[in-house]
Amino acid sequence: MELAGFLGVTMLWVKAAHVIFVIFFMAGLFMMPRFFVYHQQCPVGSEEDRKWVEREDRLRKIILNPSILLVWIFGLMLAFNGDYWHEGWFIAKFLTVVALSGYHGWMIGYFKKLAKGERPLTEKQLRMLNEVPGIAAALVVILVIVRPF
């Protein structure tokens, strides 16, 4: 593997950090909608409701938000280092990551609604939304490893 670009020999460390924080981020993306399903089942204003708000807030502050920030920082470093901006596989991956980032933003918004006692989605809808990160992860892995275009 050629270690060219401005990262030089640190490129592999940056790539490792990127993958590590992608794993943390994806874990949070899988956990939060699951938390929402359980949270939504409890009575608004109950002690259990308060505990779910605390759990979701910790997941957001400790795992999701720091991870997405570091995924973007390390990912952009790799993208600029490899000058991938004109490669079809990379553009598709980048757009998928942008969509996942939007999904993250939606989850934070839904967390705030649950914390206020709102329950706009059904349990079934939340369970379906829980599939989004898995589909996106599969797509990103195929784009990065296979590079179909």
Is 124 part of any known ligand binding site? no
Q: What is the DSSP string of the chain?
A: ----STTGGGHHHHHHHHHHHHHHHHHHHHHHHHHHHHHHTSPTTSHHHHHHHHHHHHIIIIIIHHHHHHHHHHHHHHHHHHT-TT-HHHHHHHHHHHHHHHHHHHHHHHHHHHHTT---S-HHHHHHHTTHHHHHHHHHHHHHHT---
Is 113 part of any known ligand binding site? no
Which residues fall in the annotated binding site?
18, 93
Which residues fall in the annotated binding site for heme?
18, 93
